[in-house]
Amino acid sequence: MMTSLVLTVIGPDKPGLVEVLAETITGKGGNWLESGMSRLAGKFAGILIVEVAEEDATALINALTNLEGQGLKVTAERSDTPELSGSTQAFTLELVGHDKPGIVRDISSALAKRHINVERLSTELVSGSMSAELLFKAEAELLASSDLDLDELQEALEAIASDLMVDISLNS
């Protein structure tokens, strides 16, 4: 029987970290499935999903933990895939506006109140095309029950967007 591990990794950014991680995973019988990795504030940070035979999982987790001696801190969590109840709808949210504290908090609060799950979130600061001011950009893949009223959500998000001075769009 196979088991999935969700790994988080962080360490000082330097060449070869992904190779060390991949060799460790493969060396203990694991299979690298999905990942997202970035250089953030001088650190290498990532999250990935690995599949491994149940009987090899503990050995893999131990080997990954031992990478801390090479500067890479790895945390592993066994994953059970939750069953989704009822029918769902997927959609995306895109946001752009002047950077200010509270944007993610306010938007995520509106989503949580409507039981909307954030499947993937990507944010970045970019220079504005017409000025040197920093703009905050966010893209989110969302999942909600099929009976969610998207028009009501759009209205709620537009009210928040007005207060935050950002543009928000939903795409199904």
**Residue 85 has what pLDDT?**
61
Q: Count how many domains the chain has.
A: 2
> Strand order of the sheet with strand 88-98?
117-127, 134-145, 88-98, 166-171
Range of the domain at 55: 2-79
Residues 96 and 71 in one domain: no
Average pLDDT, the chain: 93
Rg of the chain in Å (alpha carbons):
20
End residue of a domain, out of 22, 55, 79: 79
Mean pLDDT computed over 74-99? 86
Residues 75 and 97 in one domain: no
**DSSP of 126-172:** EE-SSSS-EEEEEEEEEEEETT--HHHHHHHHHHHHHHHTEEEEEE-
- Residue 127, Cβ neighbours under 10 Å: how many? 10
Assigned token pair, 143: 């999942």
End residue of a domain, out of 45, 79, 113: 79
Q: Can you tell me the distance from the alpha carbon of 170 to that of 133, in angstroms, rounded to the nearest whole number?
A: 25
Residues 98 and 120 in one domain: yes
Residues 94 and 161 in one domain: yes
Mean pLDDT computed over 4-23? 96
Distance from CA of residue 36 to its chain's centroid? Answer: 7
- The number of helix segments (H) and strand segments (E) in the chain equals 4, 8
Mean pLDDT computed over 39-61? 96
Q: How many residues can be counted in the chain?
A: 172
* pLDDT digits 0-9 by tens, 154-165: 999 999 999 999
Q: Are 95 and 125 in contact (CB under 8 A)?
A: no
**DSSP of 63-87:** HHHGGGGGT-EEEEEEE--PPPPS-
pTM (2 decimals)? Answer: 0.80
Residues 167 and 97 in one domain: yes
* pLDDT digits 0-9 by tens, 58-81: 999 999 999 999 999 999 999 976
